[in-house]
Structure 1
Amino acid sequence: MERYPCVYMRGGTSKAIFFHEKDLPAERSRWPEIFLRVMGSPDVKQIDGIGGATSSTSKIAVISPSSRPDADIDYNFFQVDILIPNVDNSANCGNIAAAVGPYAIDEGLVPAVEPKTVVRIYNTNTGKLIEEHVQVKNGRAVFQGETQIEGVPGTGAPIEMFFLNPGGSKTGKLFPTGLRKEPLLIPNYDPIEVTIIDCANPVVLLRAADLGLEGTELTELNDNAKLMEHIEAIRGMAAEKLGFVSDWKTAKNISTSIPKVSILSSPRSYRNMSGNWTQKEDMDLCVRAVSLGMIHKAIPLTVATATGAAACMEGTIISDIVAGTAGKKAIFLGHASGVTAVQVELEGDKVKKAGIIRTARRIMDGYIYINN
């Protein structure tokens, strides 16, 4: 068997295995097979690995010191598919990014400065910078605190995250097609109007009503094969328009992570994944996110960032769903687990900064063993 030193961490509402790049084989072509075995993919239960059989828990982060003058750490993210032998390195994971700062401090990759250390992170997937403000005590990241985030039981120390100039993460443009809303024409389906935005990650936004949904549905939608096929067709056509695939039908196997999908409706009350009520008065917009072909149990941070940015700008489909969000500095998004706030700072038609509060925790460290 082979073994590799690693740390298992929660970042926001996701979990990942963290590796130092120096501890992995220099031959990067070996990494995908190693990561599949680490997670136990492809297998619906991921029973022979550490994956949790959800997109939120089938993730890898590879960390190294950065050679860039504007960054301390390079963060390379990998999404490991569950059902197919695919490792996608094309997108960032914002939730896992929340754990990068604490990891870097505790692993001695950046000097620990009390009471708060600023960690500058370069995400290699998107070529974008993330700034994190991490509480520190006795030379270590602080994990215990009073901050509660929806989708995670208990509380933790707050991590202030800022996505810097997040527009055009993969395409170079905030609105890659040049339009703030447009119809997608997909064979065998009615035309559907969407907004395609690239902010932290490429995301296609659509109205819940156009799918025949209320917008308050939860993960039971994953059992509706016809609906999920329709959503994947929309995602695939957006992927084709963005140049990620040459044929929209192949996106489900080739471009599995991006674009992501944000299904939107006006504020409304519903019972969330914990069985508690999320009230419409606490949100600006109701959102259901789709990741790896499944309804997300909370919301990916990059989807929250892109949705929040679109809500702050005139002319997107969000303008047709709810009024009064354009120009706001904080957007409250009601998702499957509760409400997440996104702070958006605009500079004309440019997103200068997007900020979100997260928590993270070091769960375990040691060695991961895989069959060779």
Structure 2
Amino acid sequence: MSQTAIPFLFMRGGTSRGPYFRRDDLPEDLDQLAEVLIAVLGSGHALNIDGIGGGAAVTTKVAMLSPSEDEWADVDYFFAQVSVTEKRVDFKPTCGNIMSGVAPAALEMGLVNAKDDVTEIKIRAVNTGARVIAKVQTPNGQLAYAGETEIAGVPGSAAPVQLTFMGVVGSSTGAFLPSDKLQENIGGIDVTCMDVAMPMVIARAQDFGLTGHESVQELDSNLDFFKRMEGIRIEAGKRMGMGDVSKSVTPKFGLLAKAQNGGSIAVRYFMPWNTHPTMAVTGAQCLASCALTPGTVADGLLARSHESPTNVVLEHAAGTIDVLIDFDANNGFNLKAAGLVRTARKLADGFVYVPHTIWSQPKETA
């Protein structure tokens, strides 16, 4: 009996997927937890061949749930981004797509009880302190995955998961504009450094000689762009008070351009060392906020709405994502809440196994 069994759910949340655990089924110590998650996902190999990762950043994500320690919330959600090719785990960010699966997973795990028709679950994002209200379909008190809602980047349709994000301004740095400027120039490129749900460095695609409508493959093959972008991101991280971010996935990087297909603005989002195939939920909130804020690098790229709430339609590499922004524009831009609709589906459940040499505990082994 040389392996430790850990109960888990395997779920798609939005356009990401990964294992969902109860936090108390995993090591408390973060260093040991990282070793366990690296083993679970098979981190350190491009195919994650010795784990259940999918060989991409959007498929090496982990959610850990527990009854909330916050009086406001029902569930605490602790997120981990596990590297694909390096044996590294980042506990700093959160993930809004994986968040889409938190409420269904909490019901599956028995952390909360379903109500008739729609169940509202209050979630605290442990990594950032954000508060999120999730509404899931529970007709006759039974969790439903089937439905008619479609999201770009996921085939078919499923039941909607409605997410309302609050308390996301300054989620990582403590400030809406961590460098205290609407725009600044780094390496010859004008950027806006903003922290709404996810700290980001945002620039105009045209300033890099890009259209902002390139495919994921075209961008990923543009090594000169990535080299230049990473230098700007690292310097921006310092100016945002985040220290040396060379080995951290935050701040993320985003590009803006004029919309082509009827949306509000075109965007591309980076994770940060490759291009996101669709759009991150957290990044969408930051990019939408940047788009609505006068004086940012979004100036001239869209016709801004001054009515709140307003729907910002982001054109990304695989389609569009709508972000409903509730804001106050009386004194600059003040975000109150951001709403999005995603979908989720349980793919599998059971036990995932890690070698005893990684972690041994008194649970069922094989």
**Among residues 354, 360, 368, which one is paired with 2:344 in the alignment?**
360
When normalised by structure 1's length, the TM-score is 0.91
- Equivalents in 2 of 1:354, 1:169: separation in Å? 14
How far, CA to CA, are the matches of 1:230 and 1:67 in structure 2? 42
Q: Which moved more, 1:30-39 or 1:228-237?
A: 228-237
Amino acid at match of 1:370: V
Identity %: 35
Q: How far off is 1:93 after superposition?
A: 0.2
Deviation at 1:213, TM superposition (A): 0.6
Aligned to 2:267: 287
Q: Aligned to 1:260, which of 242, 248, 252?
A: 252
Matched, 1:225 2:223: yes
State whether residues 313 and 327 of structure 1, in contact with CA within 8 Å, keep that contact through their aligned partners in structure 2: no
Aligned partners of 1:81 and 1:292 also within 8 Å: no
Q: Residue 94 of structure 2 aligns with which residue?
A: 92
Cα separation, 2, equivalents of 1:50 and 1:325: 44
- CA displacement, residues 184-235 of structure 1 (integer Å, 9 cap, x when unaligned): 1x3xxxx110111100010111111011111111122212222111111121
Equivalent residue of 2:229, what SS? helix
Residues 325 and 264 of structure 1: is their aligned pair in 2 closer, same or farther, counting only changes over 3 Å?
farther
Q: Which amino acid aligns with 2:206?
A: A
Matches of 2:76 and 2:100 in 1, distance apart? 13
Distance 1:112 1:81 in 2: 34
Letter in 1 for 2:235: M
Match of 1:350 among 334, 341, 344: 334
Residues 147-296 of structure 1: pairs in structure 2 closer than 5 A: 147-184=149-186, 186=187, 191-220=188-217, 221-246=219-244, 251-253=245-247, 255=248, 257-268=249-260, 280-281=261-262, 283-296=263-276
How far apart are the structure 2 equivalents of 1:28 and 1:36?
Answer: 12
Amino acid at match of 2:296: T
Measured after TM superposition, the shift of residue 237 of structure 1 is: 1.4
Is the Cα contact below 8 Å between 1:313 and 1:326 reproduced in 2?
Answer: no
CA displacement at 1:327 relative to structure 2: 4.6
Tell me by how many angstroms 1:69 deviates. Answer: 1.1
Report the CA distance between 1:28 and its aligned residue.
3.5
| Counterpart residue number, 1:314 | 294
Query: SS where residue 47 of structure 1 aligns?
Result: coil
The AA in structure 1 aligned to 2:191 is V
Q: In structure 1, what residue type is equivalent to 2:233?
A: R
Task: Name the SS of the counterpart of 1:353 in structure 2.
Answer: strand
Q: Is the 1:151–1:338 contact (alpha carbons within 8 Å) kept by the matching residues of 2?
A: yes
- Check the 8 A contact 1:116/1:136 in 2, yes or no: yes
Q: In 2, distance between residues paired with 1:81 and 1:326? A: 40
Deviation at 1:252, TM superposition (A): 3.0
Distance 1:143 1:177 in 2: 42
Residues 31 and 92 (structure 1), Cα distance of their counterparts in 2 relative to 1, 3 Å cut: same
Q: In 2, are the aligned partners of 1:150 and 1:338 still within 8 Å (CA)?
A: yes
TM-score under structure 2 normalisation? Answer: 0.92
Q: Distance in 1 between matches of 2:204 and 2:305?
A: 16
Classify the secondary structure of the residue corresponding to 1:145: coil
SS of the residue 1:294 aligns to: coil
Asked if the contact 1:312–1:344 (Cα under 8 Å) also holds between the matched residues in 2, the reply is: no
Does the Cα contact within 8 Å between 1:55 and 1:292 map onto a contact in 2? Answer: no
* Aligned equivalent of 2:78: 76
Deviation at 1:165, TM superposition (A): 2.6
Instruction: Supply the distance in 2 between the matched residues of 1:322 and 1:105 (Cα, whole angstroms).
Output: 41
Corresponding residue number in structure 2 for 1:27: 29
SS of the residue corresponding to residue 35 of structure 1 reads helix
Distance 1:52 1:234 in 2: 29
Amino acid at match of 2:246: K
Aligned to 1:252, the other structure's residue is in SS state coil
| Cα deviation 1:252-282 (Å, max 9, x = unaligned) | 32x2x211111110012xxxxxxxxxxx12x
Q: What residue identity is the alignment partner of 1:53?
A: G
Q: CA deviation at 1:138?
A: 4.3
Contact between 1:311 and 1:325, CA under 8 Å: does it hold in 2? no
Q: What letter corresponds to residue 41 of structure 1 in structure 2? A: S
Report the alpha carbon displacement of residue 326 of structure 1 after superposing the two structures with TM: 5.2
Moved more, 358-367 or 210-219: 210-219
- What does residue 129 of structure 2 align with? 127
Other-structure match for 1:297: 277
1:226 alignment partner AA: D
In structure 2, C-alpha distance between the alignment counterparts of 1:232 and 1:113, rounded to whole Å = 47
Please name the residue that 2:362 is paired with: none
Contact 1:168 1:200 in 2 (8 A): yes
* Residues 291 and 304, structure 2, Cα contact 8 Å, conserved in 1: no
